[in-house]
Amino acid sequence: MKLELKSIKHSPSLSEETEAFTADLWVNGKKVAYCSNRGQGGCTDYHPYDPSLRPLLKEVEEYCKTLPPVKSHNYELKMDLEFKIDTLLSEWLEAKDFNKVLIYKTKDGVKMECKWKGVTLNQLLKRADGISAVRRKITNLQAEGCTILNTNLGFILK
């Protein structure tokens, strides 16, 4: 079953304890539900666009319960549709960040960002000297035992 979020509208300024957003949930290429979170620590809500979609949404809920739990520190979090929606949003936000900055984890496990003043990572990679600058930075970080987390830099990490 293919689950996607589309038409995502994220509001960092309204995100206090959870991410404030709205989005459409698509299932196997069909727009099924409206998803939202007000960003104040509450649950992520989802509602079918049409009453006729309730059986499909119920099927999606049951499918998500069969997905493997997510391991976090010393415990596991069971998957359900709400958690899956939040996971899809997190992946979308992470992909967006990967286009802006170099994200890495130190050998102590601390997540860090490397920024270039006034230029996003994507903009830097379009410049003639940009790829070599990013490659140098990555080489230095890896020599220090850091792990590069960006998934969009495979052509540099070779």
Domain boundaries, the chain: 3-95, 102-157
Number of neighbours of residue 153 by Cβ within 10 angstroms: 19
Instruction: State the Cα–Cα distance between residues 90 and 138, nearest whole angstrom.
Output: 24
Stretch (H or E) spanning 21:
strand 21-27
Instruction: State the Cα–Cα distance between residues 71 and 9, nearest whole angstrom.
Output: 28
Per cent of the chain over pLDDT 90 is 58
Instruction: State the Cα–Cα distance between residues 46 and 32, nearest whole angstrom.
Output: 10
DSSP-derived letter for residue 99 is T
Judged against a pLDDT cut of 90, whether residue 43 lies above it is answered with yes
Instruction: State the Cα–Cα distance between residues 121 and 130, nearest whole angstrom.
Output: 9
pLDDT tier at 158, thresholds 50, 70, 90: low
In tens, the pLDDT along 103-154 reads 889 998 898 888 888 888 888 888 878 888 898 999 999 999 999 888 878 7
